[in-house]
Structure 1
Amino acid sequence: MEKLKKKLEEANVGKVLLNEPLKNHTTMKIGGPADLFVEPKNVESVINAIKIIHEEGIPITPIGRGSNLLVLDEGIRGVVLKLGEGLNHLEVTGTEVHVGGGYSLVSLATTISKKGLSGFEFAGGIPGSVGGAVYMNAGAHGSDISKILAKALIVFQDGSCEWLSNEEMNYSYRTSVLQKIRPGIVVEAVFQLKEGDKATIVHEMQKNKDYRRETQPYNYPCAGSIFRNPLPNYAGQLVEKAGLKGYQIGGAKVSELHGNFIVNTGSATASDVLALIKHIQNVIMEKFGVEMKTEVEIIGKN
Structure 2
Amino acid sequence: MIITNDQELKLYNSYRVASRCRRAFFPETEKDFVTIYRNYADRKKVILGGGFNVILSKPFYEEDFIIIGPAFSSSNIIDETIVEAEAGLDMKSLSELAKANSLVGLEIFYDIPSSLGGAVVMNAGASGIEIKDVLTKVRYLDLKDLQIKEILNEEIGFEYRNSFFQRNLDKIILKVWLRLKNGDPAKIQQDMERIKESRWAKQPKDFPNAGSVFKRPRGYYVGTMIEELGLKGLSIGGAQVSEKHAGFIVNYNNASGQDIIKLINVIQEKVWENYQVKLEVEQRII
Bucket of the pairwise TM-score, normalised by the shorter protein: over 0.9
Residue in structure 2 matched with residue 256 of structure 1 by the alignment: 243
Q: Secondary structure at the match of 2:187?
A: helix
| Alpha carbons 1:18, 1:35 under 8 Å: kept | yes
- 1:59 is aligned to 2:44: yes
In 1, Cα distance between equivalents of 2:111 and 2:89: 14
Residue in structure 2 matched with residue 33 of structure 1 by the alignment: 20
Q: Which amino acid aligns with 1:163?
A: E
- 1:165 is aligned to 2:155: no
| Alpha carbons 1:113, 1:205 under 8 Å: kept | no
TM-score (structure 2 length as normaliser): 0.95
Question: Following superposition, which runs of at least 4 residues in structure 1 exceed 6 angstroms of deviation?
Answer: none
Q: Secondary structure at the match of 1:236?
A: helix
Residue in structure 2 matched with residue 225 of structure 1 by the alignment: 212
Structure 1 gaps, min length 5: 1-13
In 1, Cα distance between equivalents of 2:143 and 2:213: 27
- 1:23 is aligned to 2:10: yes
Counting aligned pairs with the same residue, the percent is: 30
Q: How far did residue 280 of structure 1 move? A: 0.4
Residue in structure 2 matched with residue 77 of structure 1 by the alignment: 62
In 2, Cα distance between equivalents of 1:20 and 1:266: 22
Q: Which amino acid aligns with 1:107?
A: S
In 2, Cα distance between equivalents of 1:272 and 1:238: 21
Residue in structure 2 matched with residue 4 of structure 1 by the alignment: none
Q: Which amino acid aligns with 1:120?
A: L
In 2, Cα distance between equivalents of 1:75 and 1:261: 25
Residue in structure 2 matched with residue 90 of structure 1 by the alignment: 75
Q: Secondary structure at the match of 2:212?
A: coil
Q: Secondary structure at the match of 1:179?
A: helix
Residue in structure 2 matched with residue 273 of structure 1 by the alignment: 260
Q: How far did residue 35 of structure 1 move? A: 2.1
| Alpha carbons 1:138, 1:174 under 8 Å: kept | yes
In 2, Cα distance between equivalents of 1:176 and 1:163: 15
- Which string of whole-angstrom CA distances, capped at 9 and with x for unpartnered residues, describes residues 4-50 of structure 1? xxxxxxxxxx1111221222311101142212111112222122222
Alignment of 1:1-302 (within 5 A): 14-54=1-41, 56=42, 58-93=43-78, 94-158=80-144, 159-181=146-168, 183-299=170-286
Q: Which amino acid aligns with 2:72?
A: L
In 2, Cα distance between equivalents of 1:165 and 1:277: 35
- Which string of whole-angstrom CA distances, capped at 9 and with x for unpartnered residues, describes residues 42-90 of structure 1? 2221222222234x4x321111111110011243332110111221111
- Residues 182 and 80 of structure 1: is their aligned pair in 2 closer, same or farther, counting only changes over 3 Å? closer
In 2, Cα distance between equivalents of 1:108 and 1:243: 38
In 2, Cα distance between equivalents of 1:254 and 1:72: 18
Q: Which amino acid aligns with 1:253?
A: Q
Worse-superposed segment, 208-217 or 185-194: 208-217
- Alpha-carbon RMSD across the aligned residues, in angstroms, is 1.4
